[in-house]
């Protein structure tokens, strides 16, 4: 079953959001255009409580984008974003959500960050997505969304390690750091993860 997983196309990651990804809104029509090419369409939402550990505002004396150590791993401190129930956590209003069969929310535990659609950053908790996909008989997974070099990348990595055949749809994704993404694409290709543009789906 050919499955599309759309990562975090939410208002706070748009150019006028609290944690903007440059030109993040430009991927919305691309994602809308490709959904009919898939048997199953799924999406994720960052869904943080107000006291989330990744928010710089919850650390005295710290600023946005400072890095601390958390659970033995480096943790970037972000501006408050995608707080549960806020407009910033909503999907972009132009995103076609009618075909979404399920939405997986992540980052819901205030004590740990969760970039990947599959696990938190320390792999302590699963979102249940792997089991859902395997029960559906999914083997072929296409991923896109925001931000390409963070949540999309870590979702691809976990999906690959869970045994799925993974493809990154480059023009349906935008990165916080394009240079970093170029390095990550080389890493993905070396692992056997495919990278393509949406026109290849038609």
Catalytic residue check, 151: yes
Q: Which of these, 35, 14, 36, lies nearest to 26 by C-alpha position? A: 14
Tell me which DSSP letter residue 144 carries.
Answer: E
Residue in 46, 80, 106, 144 annotated catalytic = 106
Q: Which of these, 83, 64, 71, 65, lies nearest to 120 by C-alpha position? A: 71
Catalytic residue check, 106: yes
Q: Are 88 and 99 in contact (CB under 8 A)?
A: no
CB proximity list for 190: less than 8 A, separation 6 or greater: none
Catalytic residue check, 136: no
Residue in 12, 120, 144, 151 annotated catalytic = 151
Which residues does the annotation mark as catalytic? 8, 106, 151
């Amino acid at each position: 079953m050919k499955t599309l997983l759309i990562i975090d196309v939410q208002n706070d990651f748009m150019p006028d959001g609290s944690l903007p990804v440059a030109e993040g809104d430009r991927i919305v029509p691309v994602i809308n255009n490709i959904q009919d090419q898939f048997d199953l369409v799924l999406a994720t939402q960052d869904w943080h409580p107000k006291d989330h550990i990744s928010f710089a505002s919850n650390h005295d004396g710290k600023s946005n984008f400072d890095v601390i150590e958390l659970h033995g791993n480096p943790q970037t401190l972000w501006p408050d974003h995608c707080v549960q129930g806020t407009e910033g956590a909503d999907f972009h209003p132009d995103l076609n959500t009618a075909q979404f069969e399920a939405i997986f929310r992540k980052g819901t535990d205030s004590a740990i960050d969760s970039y990947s659609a599959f696990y938190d950053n320390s792999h302590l908790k699963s979102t249940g997505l792997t089991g859902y996909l395997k029960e559906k008989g999914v083997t072929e997974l296409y991923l896109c969304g925001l931000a390409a070099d963070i949540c999309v990348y870590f979702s691809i990595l976990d999906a690959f390690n869970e045994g799925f055949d993974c493809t990154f749809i480059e023009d349906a994704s935008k990165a916080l750091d394009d240079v970093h993404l170029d390095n990550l694409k080389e890493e993905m290709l070396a692992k056997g993860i495919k990278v393509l543009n949406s026109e290849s789906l038609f």
